[in-house]
Amino acid sequence: MVRDEVLVYIGVGANLGEAVGTVKHAIATLSQLPLTRQVAASSLHRSAPVDTTGPDFINAVVAFKTSLNAYELLANLQQIELACGRERPYRNAPRTLDLDLLLFGAARVYSPTLQVPHPRMYERAFVLQPLSEIAPEKVNAVQLRAVAGQRIERLV
Q: Write out the catalytic residue numbers.
A: 86, 95, 98, 100
Mapping DSSP onto H, E and C, the string for 94-112 reads: CCCCEEEEEEECCCCEECC
What is the spatial distance between Cα 111 and Cα 32, in angstroms, rounded to a whole number? 27
